[in-house]
Amino acid sequence: MAVVTIIGAGMMGSALAFPARENGNEVRLVGTPLDREIIDVSRATGRHPKFKKDFPAGLKYYQVEEMADAIAGSDMIIGGVSSFGVDWFGDVVLPAIPDEIPVLSVTKGLWDTEDGKLLTYLDLWQEKLDALGKKLVLNAIGGPCTSYELVAHDQTEVAFCGKNMEVLRKLKSIMATDYYHVSLSTDVTGIESAVALKNGYALGVALTIGLNQKAFGNDELHFNSQAAIFGQAVKEMSRLLEYQGSGTLDNLCVGAGDLYVTVYGGRTRLVGILLGRGMNIDEAKAELNGVTLESLVVAVRVARAIKICVKKGILDLKDFPLLMHVDEILTDKKAVNIPWEAFTFEA
């Protein structure tokens, strides 16, 4: 039996308590400063307030002030913060973790630099650790997985990525179940980039759902346009993975799978539909007040990096018409006007 400490009691971090606990491990769920009510409710009821199923029996709950007690004696730490908690996790949590305890992050995203590079969150955290002289082993989870379906035990396949395969195998042995299947990769940049890139593109696919609802009503289903955007999204993701130096089929498939599940089961779908129906981004955000939209941040960052690389002659703007339009919608508040003809090709 291992001791698994999850720091961040949001939906995905909390969902991972299910395979971790059902695999026979001791599981400790620690809230961030924003999770106080979640921890209180979970302690009192044995259920996360947004789940329809009780946590496995025996889970232990900790408020953020009790984090040191939860970390002590752990065999692994799962970082369950959203992308908006990246700085807090890097500045507060990572320095408090002993070097011998591996970290597995569920936080998806990319950070753009002034010279057009796209860094993973593990890259950013590693810079902080290097400055502190710490030797923590950082790893991450990527792949198609929504929290509520993991809780429901829908068959799920993800990828754990990190620099040390032996560490990854240990983490897999702790977490893998008969419904939670884990591939392993030492290409951190590839896996982390793939699952972050899908965010802006999922928004692009969801635009067509809103456009069709506006044109035909909610009762008719239209898939031609969704499929066309999906294909263009995968094409542009492939080009960006090549730019990242990680354009393998495995990485692309992890990203494409995550794109699919995000289109059909994520918060990004909601904002994309509202934009497609005719709202601007400010109106859509107001309509979804309180819903975190990490996809918007990633899309703008990646688009900004592409523009820098275009000026430097590294990338060609015509290779990314879908993401550039998504960026126009988000940054310039332009109306949805999908550039369909820009997706066509001659081979």
Domain boundaries, the chain: 3-186, 195-343
Average pLDDT, the chain: 95
pLDDT band at 290 (very low <50, low <70, confident <90, very high): low
Please check whether the two domains, 3-186 and 195-343, share a CATH topology: no
pLDDT band at 312 (very low <50, low <70, confident <90, very high): very high
pLDDT over 70, % of the chain = 99
Beta bridge partners, 141, equal 160
DSSP helix/strand/coil, 292: coil
* Mean local confidence (pLDDT), 244-261: 97
Measure the CA–CA gap between 112 and 179, rounded to whole angstroms.
35
pLDDT band at 156 (very low <50, low <70, confident <90, very high): very high
* Mean local confidence (pLDDT), 101-125: 96
Q: In the CATH scheme, what is the code of domain 3-186?
A: 3.40.50.720
* Mean local confidence (pLDDT), 206-219: 92
Better-scored residue on pLDDT, 289 or 275: 275
Contacts of 188 (CB under 8 A, 6+ apart): 120, 122, 139, 140, 161, 162, 163
Measure the CA–CA gap between 221 and 214, rounded to whole angstroms.
12
Q: How confident is the model over 3-62, as pLDDT tens digits?
A: 999 999 999 999 999 999 999 999 999 999 999 999 999 999 999 999 999 999 999 999
Q: Residue 57's pLDDT is what? A: 97
Which of 212-221, 222-231, 259-268, 290-299 is predicted with the least confidence, judged by mean pLDDT? 290-299
Q: Residue 110: enclosing H or E segment and its boundaries?
A: strand 110-112
Contacts of 328 (CB under 8 A, 6+ apart): 334
Which of 43-47, 262-266, 338-342 is predicted with the least confidence, judged by mean pLDDT? 262-266
List the one residue out of 325, 328, 291 whose CA is nearest residue 84: 291
Whether the pLDDT of residue 292 is over 90: the answer is no
Q: Residue 80's pLDDT is what? A: 96
pLDDT band at 202 (very low <50, low <70, confident <90, very high): very high
Cite the active site residues: 198
Q: In the CATH scheme, what is the code of domain 195-343?
A: 1.10.1040.10
Whether the pLDDT of residue 92 is over 90: the answer is yes
Q: Residue 199's pLDDT is what? A: 87
Q: Residue 291's pLDDT is what? A: 63
* Mean local confidence (pLDDT), 79-100: 95
Q: Residue 221's pLDDT is what? A: 79
Measure the CA–CA gap between 273 and 133, rounded to whole angstroms.
46
